[in-house]
Structure 1
Amino acid sequence: MYLNCHTYYSLRYGTIKPEQLLAIASENGVQTLALTDINTTSACLDIVRLSKKYKVKPVLGVDFRNNAQQEFILIAKNNQGFQNINEYLSKFLHNHDLKIPERPEETLADCFVIYPYQKGKDFKLKPNEFLGIAPKDLNQLKFSKWNTHREKLVVLKTVSFQNKKGFNTHRLLRAIDNNTLLSKLPKAEEGSSEDIMLPYNELCERYSEFPSLINNTEDLLDNCSISFDFENPIPKNQRFLTKNANSDYELLEKLTYDGIAYRYGNDVKPKIYQRIEKELNIIKQKGFVSYFLINWKILEYARSKDYYYVGRGSGANSIIAYLLRITDVDPIELDLYFERFINLFRQNPPDFDIDFSWKDRDDITEFIFKSFKHTALITVYNTFKFKASVRELGKVFGLPKSEMDILTRGKYNIHKLDRLSQLVIKYSKYIQGFPNYLGIHAGGILISEKPIHYYGATFMPPKGFATTQFDMVVAEDIGLYKFDILSQRGLGKIKEAVEIVSYNHPNQPALDIHDIKRFKQDERIKYLLRNAKAIGCFYVESPAMRMLLKKLQVDNYLGLVAASSVIRPGVAKSGMMRQYILRYRYPERRKEAHPVLAEIMPETYGVMVYQEDVIKVAHHFGGLDLGESDMLRRGMSGKFRSREEFLKVKQKFFDNCKKDGKPFDLVADIWRQIESFAGYAFAKGHSASYAVESYQSLFLKAYYPLEYMTATINNFGGFYSTELYVHEARMHGGKIEAPCINQSYTQTIIKGKTIYLGFMFLQSLESKTIERILSERQNYGLFNSLDDFIERVPISIEQIGILIKINAFRFTKINKRELLWEAHLKISKTVIQDHIVTLFRTERINYSTPELPSTALENAFDEIELLGFPLCNPFHLLEKESTTKLRAKHLNKLEGKYVKIEGYLVTTKNTKTSNGKLMHFGTFLDRNGDFIDTVHFPPVASKYPFRGKGIYEIIGKVMIEFDCVTIEVSKLERLAIIEDPRYSIKSLNPTFQRKRSFKDLKANYG
């Protein structure tokens, strides 16, 4: 009876969750309902999946609207009709210039069309078209010509809200959507407060004078039937790469054995062949052959384009993946557990995460869309977050920004707030988790056997690739498993660094960045690892990883593989990180491991470090079969829907251990370890893949630090900001130069040991200005003066002002204040047009400018304004010159002592203690450029908060654990820097300027 039901996936309109809609229908005696969300099919598959639970027959369709204006409703008779609706809707979602018409331009097969009744509108209905009569239309109907054509009329009772609160929420969402005050929201943009579900009998009573409408509506719904198989979600991905299953398997087998020579040469041990046969049999038996071949085809293309990539995830546990060059981790060398990747109990295909450089991924995506017929990106539901909702609703209610700031910080007594503020808090909590808009999954791509529109509509985001309206979880429910094509800047850095080494060392042989075996033995790399000197290097540069490396003093591949997983939050949370460090550093402590655990995990001394350790412990210690063990892992990683089944597995773990006579305290402790980190740990193959990339970046850092840091700067770094990578280059002997008109390019370049920062790092410098400079310089040579530049490059006074202020014209030897004066006199503020090349140059009038000296101090503040950081030592900008001689290198001799030291803030990490109180970890640089690490426990964090970027005086106690030095802070104060001399009367004082000479502000630290 309900032909027009909305969930909250009718974005910023509906307010009912999908399962809640079914529950409401069941409570009201409704046996069939049509889900027709507004311009979306996001909830359709979920409604079908959940409908059996509530004994409600689902019918699917779409409510087509322009904003809030309803044009028509399409309802699918069957799966083909649903596909037709999805294709039709996608036309409008792909082309935002298309407006939804008053009626479909074409007849859609296997679909019903319902138009909302409007007084005075002329309807000429086709056989599959009907007029929907809402309760409010019944009186008008009596006097309408349609009263004599009741065979074409159906009940149109819209459902968008559950109750009055739902309607109020709807109005707030509509105000947010229209970016208007609630009091100014047009009525045309709202639904009706009557759009709630009535009990079935009450709805029939409303239409009792028109029984034919009830019959027509029920007949229409009876003629609709939709079905998707959720009970047995056999993979719905593209079934074959070739013609059929046999030829697919023959190709996989051939590629596998062809890969042996590349990977192992002539040294092929029998266990390699045994592993190959075992894996091929399982892959064939599980029907995953095409999954491997599709990944192989994608990466074959990548290699043909010379793209760098890393295959990771549990897929790195497979020798087939290694031989097909999907991954670069040898599972034989690392004794990787294949059952983590595929086992006979596993229904879904295995995971391959393929990382590409951020510069190459779009081309790979385009190749996939061209090569495979039924392809789409996966959406993610970006939901309303509490703080953002407070701001959105604050604007809707007209609250001033100052009040919204108080509410978002959470520092208020709810009972002392005024009525509007209380409403903001109330409804912000209510809409928290509502979908707000659709985004794109970080890397998920579907390659389906059937058309994507068989399952749902697609929209077209700015990237230009069709994207589903349902997310990864819903896709997996139906049997569509994603291919993960991801991007990361680490690969971009490595690739670019190799290119930079090539041009900065032209006589050197080409680098083999894939010679991992040699890198594993390299003493320079071992030194960097042992001493945690890995800034800029993939996955090993963060403060936490730097401190872990220092504690472990790891200098080998297997140790780094373990460290890559030990650093994950769960291991630290379980307390096992400390146990691992103790057992790694002190062999006598390894005896503390439980014998069974030590036998299961000898490499990690009985400590669970990898995801497969969860499977092993659950299987060997807890007596679960491999399928149950993998269910346990998936449940803890948040990928498993059924909490009930997960709890059954947990209970079986405890029951089996009890049956075996294992002490309860031991079992509970092991379960606590499993539960605390299983969702966060890496698969061993995943960690190994990360470690391979770490070794590549470590090699470049060890032998070509300046070239590598140049690439790091160009790829916008990694964990840290550009400033720290510039600092790191300086620490390795690089001479850092601000952008220069005659030397710089868009990106940063290096010449010998001199690094010229790129124009792209200058805030507010337009890309078209950069293009004009580089084009003119390439075509007609270097610039020899400001006049020459102005003559050749069309530029506004604002844009040339940026270049002059950063001292990009320093080759002229003219003070930049004088250059600015000249530029203002010689450049008009009219619209800039490209110069027309003429035979003779225009004569320019030479103005005489006054002598206007600028200082190195002013340069520093110009750099802060335009680059975001100074190129001089920031300690030279302190208002009071420092007298302390204490440096980071002295701290290791001051254990337990209270010290006072100055540090330039690099980064902070906020976390919470077990009782929910805020604390911080800080990373600073001392005057010499070395790291200071700090811990700020809750009382200190509250009393002495960080106050933004700058130099701080740190007072605290020196703590040393496993050779890692930190300061437990007791007091923190940001030190004042000098007043900006560009606007200060002080800057005119010659005595003051002599104290801060250019020599004092030299670029090198110390």
Structure 2
Amino acid sequence: MYLNCHTYYSLRYGTIKPEQLLAIASENGIQTLALTDINNTSACLDFVRLSKKYQVKPVLGVDFRNKTSQRFVLIAKNNNGFYNINSYLSKFLHNSELEIPEQAPQLEDTFVIYPYQHNKKYHLKSHEFLGIKPQDLNHLKFSEWNNFRSKLVILQTVSFQNKKGFNTHRLLRAIDNNTLLSKLPKKEQGEETDVMLPFEDLKNIYIEFPELIKNTSSLLKDCTIEFDFSQNIPNNQKSYTNNELLDYRLLEKLTYQGLYYRYRKPGTRIFNRIEKELNIIKEKGFVPYFLINWKILKYARSKGYFYVGRGSGANSIIAYLLRITDVDPVELDLYFERFINLYRKNPPDFDIDFSWTDRDDITEFIFKRFKNTALITVYNTFKYKASVRELGKVFGLPKSEIDILSSGKYNFDQLDRLSQLVLKYSTYINGFPNYLGIHAGGIIISEKPIHYYGATFMPPKGFATTQFDMVVAEDIGLYKFDILSQRGLGKIKDTVDIVKYNHPKKEPIDIHDIKRFKQDEKIKNLLRNAKAIGCFYVESPAMRMLLKKLQVDNYLGLVAASSVIRPGVAKSGMMREYIMRYRHPERRKDAHPVLLDIMPETYGVMVYQEDVIKVAHYFGGLTLGEADMLRRGMSGKFRSREEFLKVKKQFFDNCKNDGKPDDLTTDVWRQIESFAGYAFAKGHSASYAVESYQSLFLKAYFPLEYMVATINNFGGFYRTELYVHEARMHGGIIEAPCVNKSYSQTIIEGKTIYLGFMFLHALEKKTIKRLVKEREQHGLFDSLDDFINRVPISVEQIAILIKIDAFRFTGINKRELLWEAHLKISKTVVQEHIVTLFKTERIHYKTPQLTSTDLENAFDEIELLGFPLCNPFDLLEYPSLNPLRANQLLFYRNKTITIEGYLVTTKNTGTSDGKRMFFGTFLDRDGYFIDTVHFPPIAAKFPFRGQGVYTITGKVLEDFDCVNIEVSSMERKAVIEDPRYAVNSLNPTFQNKKSFKDLKLHGS
């Protein structure tokens, strides 16, 4: 009886979760239900999947509206009708300028329901009906349509469950309209009566109009929608060549073509593994998945794009031979069943990373090359703190009160009624979908048109995007291709190019010669000593300490470290245990014999996803099919699913039947659970390690060029300032931007590094473009006047260049240049110079003799670059006299010391009792790292107060060769007063008018 039902995917309107809607229907005796969200199909597939559980027949459609103004409801008779509705809706979602018309189109296999309006003329086709709401019944008695009841159906809209749902709806509408709740227009709201009534109650309302009940029932009976959620066969593109036999022959051919690129002397083990994998890939129907990835990466190589193939796909030798990954699964003894096994229903997982500058072109290629392609959406949800702010504004609370509520520092019982309502409803809408975004890199390539499954929208990125997320996509058998981006690959690619121009006589770098890198002593030295700043995945303070603790200097050790650092291992308490067993072999006997036998390489410690599957299979007695379900559950996406809970019960039952102690079983399961959402597949870690080795090689042999590339790609874990510092530590001469040397990006000449114009705050791109273009076309600038004559620029923009000393080649003090610029450049709108027959002569002014100090320069650099180019210790109000340095701390083990450090970065984390503690990273005066720990009482008493030099007092601790200071007190040291704002400053911006009058004008 219900033809117009909304879930909370009627964004900022509906308030019912999809499964909740089905549960309500079941409670009210409703056997058939039409889901028709407003201009949205996000919930449709999940609604169909869950409907069997509640014994409700699902019907799908869309409520077409312009904002809240309902035009018509389209109902799908079958899957083809649903496809047509999705295609029609997508036209409007792809072009925001289009408005939904009052008249519905004639779409095959659909019904149309118009909301009845009194005295409005309707010309209904055979498949079109008028929807009569309960409040319309009195009007209907006196309407001409009372004589044409065969065209009338019940239109009891369902948007809320109850009064609380309606109140929530009004709040969502107020947020959407950015208005106070008290000023929300009536037309922007639904009706409080838009709730689901028991079946008999609804029939009683229409008791005088039995034809409407019959028509509605008949319409719903004529609708059938079916989707297969068994996942027996993936719904991805089924063939690469349009012939499955040819697909397999091509895969086989490509595999053996790649054999001698990867192995000089392949043996029986290699050939057996190839045959095993090919047979399973063929049997599972995954051949086109491999070929599509191969085609994408073949295109990438043709364009010279760097990429890294990672994920569980690195466990496959076929992927290695097709150059989808650079990880040798035989060398690493990677567990192939983690990647594909006969029990696995979904295809293998390849995550392909590209440089952030190249990914959009790859995405465009995929859309052009493969017919049924779309990006996958993510549901950006209401978060509690943000909701507090939004609802605070809706209720009209002052900002000061909203700040208190958002901070969480209040006594709920002492709050006024409005504030309590803000908190109550913020909790309620927490997790509601707010708007649709784009998945970080997920793309689906379907056999059927995308609109068979749902509508698509067009985000600013310009690629059609589904309205359902990756979990729903997997449920229906659509498995994503992950096309991701990262700056690490950009750094590698750019370094290779920079080395070419800075060392033109050197042989080209083969950045893919990973086998050579693994044996390189310089790289081993960097790893052992954790000198990997700027290098992919191994530069963070936590990784730096782990490398020191493990004394890693080989590939396999780095692969393990890449996974050990993940939160899952640390959370389970096994990271420390792994370090202990790595450093002290006698500790390895503490491992349970079964676990040690399963995982000898990691000393009985679960480090990889494969380890979890092995433990589940061999220790917990789960079948490979059940273990695969556990693997899916570990992602966190399916943890609440019944099938995952069944696997957990089976694990405990098997262990109990096998006579394993309950405490041991519980501890092992605790370790398994801690991996949820965090564990790496071993192949994934190995892929990361390959990229780490590439960046380590460049850092070892071309440290300056690598730092320049790092700076240009906006760093990595740290701020740009630290990478500039790191370049200086490797002998680089750092120069501020110069109008005769610099470009938008940072460049290097020999050992001299010129910072790029793009790092100057507020310097416009068009200014940079004009400057560089003019210099390249007509040569270097010889003076400020020459620059002003040739480059159209405003006084504000040239002031930035002068302040950063970009005209230092003139030999004129920049304060004098600032005077000249202010007097010679008009403040009117800057236009391109027009070439004339005669050159315009400029009036020359005699400016006062001015000077600027190194201190003034440093503060200009802080203002424009965000950091000084001098040693920050030189800017202290009182000179630093503390002689202690980072490399001396080991001599003060377990003693309390005081040292000074320049703050680099902080990390905060929660303790088991919910309090906040911090880890700090500082530089001493000589530029070496100091690491600190700030436990909650100290962190609260001595908080970080922004960038600067701190006096740190604490106890020196040493753990596996890593030195830390457990801080007992900390204070930021005072910086010298900014000399530019002193009373005697000669900056023209702060001069009085009399100074300008004293200038003498000289015509030239």
RMSD: 1.5
Q: Name the amino acid aligned to 2:245.
A: N
Given that 1:358 and 1:492 are in contact with CA atoms closer than 8 Å, whether structure 2 keeps it comes out as yes
Whether 1:915 aligns to 2:913 is: yes
Partner in structure 2 of residue 895 of structure 1: 893
Partner in structure 2 of residue 149 of structure 1: 148
Structure 1 window deviating more from structure 2 (354-363 vs 212-221): it is 212-221
Which deviations, in whole Å up to 9, do the C-alpha atoms of 1:136-158 show, x marking residues without a partner?
Answer: 22222222222222222221111
Distance 1:357 1:755 in 2: 23
Partner in structure 1 of residue 794 of structure 2: 796
Structure 1 window deviating more from structure 2 (585-594 vs 698-707): it is 585-594
Which deviations, in whole Å up to 9, do the C-alpha atoms of 1:93-138 show, x marking residues without a partner?
Answer: 111111111223x311111111122234322222222222222222
Of 938, 951, 954, the residue aligned with 1:953 is 951
Q: Name the amino acid aligned to 2:551.
A: Q
Q: Name the amino acid aligned to 2:448.
A: K
Given that 2:527 and 2:547 are in contact with CA atoms closer than 8 Å, whether structure 1 keeps it comes out as yes
TM-score (normalizing by structure 1): 0.96
Partner in structure 2 of residue 422 of structure 1: 420
Of 633, 636, 650, the residue aligned with 1:635 is 633
Given that 1:614 and 1:678 are in contact with CA atoms closer than 8 Å, whether structure 2 keeps it comes out as no
Whether 1:75 aligns to 2:106 is: no
Distance 1:643 1:142 in 2: 50
Distance 1:770 1:124 in 2: 62
Whether 1:463 aligns to 2:451 is: no
Gapped runs of 5+ residues in structure 1? 990-1006
Distance 1:678 1:198 in 2: 41
Q: Name the amino acid aligned to 1:476.
A: E
Secondary structure of 1:750's aligned partner: strand
Given that 2:231 and 2:346 are in contact with CA atoms closer than 8 Å, whether structure 1 keeps it comes out as no
Residues 183 and 233 (structure 1 numbering): CA distance in 2 closer, same or farther, change over 3 Å?
Answer: farther
1:988 positional shift:
8.3
1:217 positional shift:
1.6
1:232 positional shift:
4.2
Distance 1:532 1:687 in 2: 18
Secondary structure of 2:904's aligned partner: strand
Secondary structure of 1:985's aligned partner: coil
Secondary structure of 2:563's aligned partner: helix
Structure 1 window deviating more from structure 2 (128-137 vs 585-594): it is 585-594
Partner in structure 2 of residue 103 of structure 1: 103
Structure 1 window deviating more from structure 2 (220-229 vs 812-821): it is 812-821
Secondary structure of 2:931's aligned partner: strand
Secondary structure of 1:388's aligned partner: helix
Partner in structure 2 of residue 91 of structure 1: 91
Q: Name the amino acid aligned to 1:142.
A: K
Partner in structure 1 of residue 784 of structure 2: 786
Given that 1:93 and 1:459 are in contact with CA atoms closer than 8 Å, whether structure 2 keeps it comes out as yes
Distance 1:846 1:790 in 2: 13
Partner in structure 2 of residue 357 of structure 1: 355
Distance 1:712 1:69 in 2: 52
Given that 1:233 and 1:477 are in contact with CA atoms closer than 8 Å, whether structure 2 keeps it comes out as no
Which deviations, in whole Å up to 9, do the C-alpha atoms of 1:487-545 show, x marking residues without a partner?
Answer: 11100100000000000011111111111111111111011000000000000001100
For residues 448-459 of structure 1, the aligned pairs below 5 Å read: 448-459=446-457
For residues 550-589 of structure 1, the aligned pairs below 5 Å read: 550-589=548-587
TM-score (normalizing by structure 2): 0.97
Given that 1:924 and 1:932 are in contact with CA atoms closer than 8 Å, whether structure 2 keeps it comes out as yes
Secondary structure of 2:258's aligned partner: helix
For residues 671-750 of structure 1, the aligned pairs below 5 Å read: 671-750=669-748
Q: Name the amino acid aligned to 2:600.
A: P
Secondary structure of 2:844's aligned partner: coil
For residues 255-404 of structure 1, the aligned pairs below 5 Å read: 255-265=254-264, 267-404=265-402
Distance 1:83 1:29 in 2: 29
Distance 1:122 1:776 in 2: 67
Partner in structure 1 of residue 161 of structure 2: 162
Partner in structure 2 of residue 531 of structure 1: 529
Which deviations, in whole Å up to 9, do the C-alpha atoms of 1:205-231 show, x marking residues without a partner?
Answer: 222222222222222111111111113
Whether 1:242 aligns to 2:241 is: yes
Secondary structure of 1:115's aligned partner: strand
Partner in structure 1 of residue 1001 of structure 2: none
Distance 1:656 1:831 in 2: 79
Given that 2:353 and 2:484 are in contact with CA atoms closer than 8 Å, whether structure 1 keeps it comes out as yes
Secondary structure of 2:454's aligned partner: coil
Q: Name the amino acid aligned to 2:483.
A: I
Partner in structure 2 of residue 860 of structure 1: 858
Partner in structure 2 of residue 129 of structure 1: 128
Partner in structure 1 of residue 405 of structure 2: 407
Residues 902 and 69 (structure 1 numbering): CA distance in 2 closer, same or farther, change over 3 Å?
Answer: same
Secondary structure of 1:272's aligned partner: helix
Given that 1:611 and 1:678 are in contact with CA atoms closer than 8 Å, whether structure 2 keeps it comes out as no
Partner in structure 2 of residue 998 of structure 1: none
Partner in structure 2 of residue 996 of structure 1: none
Gapped runs of 5+ residues in structure 2? 988-1004
Given that 2:231 and 2:475 are in contact with CA atoms closer than 8 Å, whether structure 1 keeps it comes out as no
Distance 1:198 1:14 in 2: 17
Residues 523 and 232 (structure 1 numbering): CA distance in 2 closer, same or farther, change over 3 Å?
Answer: closer
Residues 232 and 563 (structure 1 numbering): CA distance in 2 closer, same or farther, change over 3 Å?
Answer: closer
Partner in structure 1 of residue 184 of structure 2: 185
Given that 1:494 and 1:711 are in contact with CA atoms closer than 8 Å, whether structure 2 keeps it comes out as yes
Distance 1:233 1:97 in 2: 42
Distance 2:212 2:615 in 1: 63
Structure 1 window deviating more from structure 2 (8-17 vs 876-885): it is 876-885
1:921 positional shift:
0.9
1:855 positional shift:
2.2
1:288 positional shift:
0.9
Whether 1:475 aligns to 2:473 is: yes
Distance 1:678 1:218 in 2: 46
1:877 positional shift:
1.6
Q: Name the amino acid aligned to 1:662.
A: K
1:444 positional shift:
0.6
Distance 2:280 2:81 in 1: 38
Given that 2:71 and 2:102 are in contact with CA atoms closer than 8 Å, whether structure 1 keeps it comes out as yes
Partner in structure 2 of residue 8 of structure 1: 8
Distance 2:865 2:123 in 1: 65
Distance 1:530 1:839 in 2: 67
Partner in structure 2 of residue 851 of structure 1: 849
Secondary structure of 1:158's aligned partner: coil
Distance 1:63 1:277 in 2: 53
Given that 1:309 and 1:357 are in contact with CA atoms closer than 8 Å, whether structure 2 keeps it comes out as yes
Given that 2:157 and 2:194 are in contact with CA atoms closer than 8 Å, whether structure 1 keeps it comes out as yes
Distance 1:974 1:405 in 2: 27
Distance 1:23 1:655 in 2: 32
Distance 1:961 1:609 in 2: 21
Given that 2:639 and 2:645 are in contact with CA atoms closer than 8 Å, whether structure 1 keeps it comes out as no
Partner in structure 1 of residue 995 of structure 2: none
Q: Name the amino acid aligned to 1:21.
A: L
Structure 1 window deviating more from structure 2 (537-546 vs 618-627): it is 618-627
Distance 2:131 2:657 in 1: 65
Distance 1:117 1:826 in 2: 71
Partner in structure 2 of residue 1003 of structure 1: none
Partner in structure 2 of residue 999 of structure 1: none
| Percent identity over paired residues | 80
Distance 1:582 1:843 in 2: 78
Distance 2:399 2:879 in 1: 39
Partner in structure 1 of residue 999 of structure 2: none
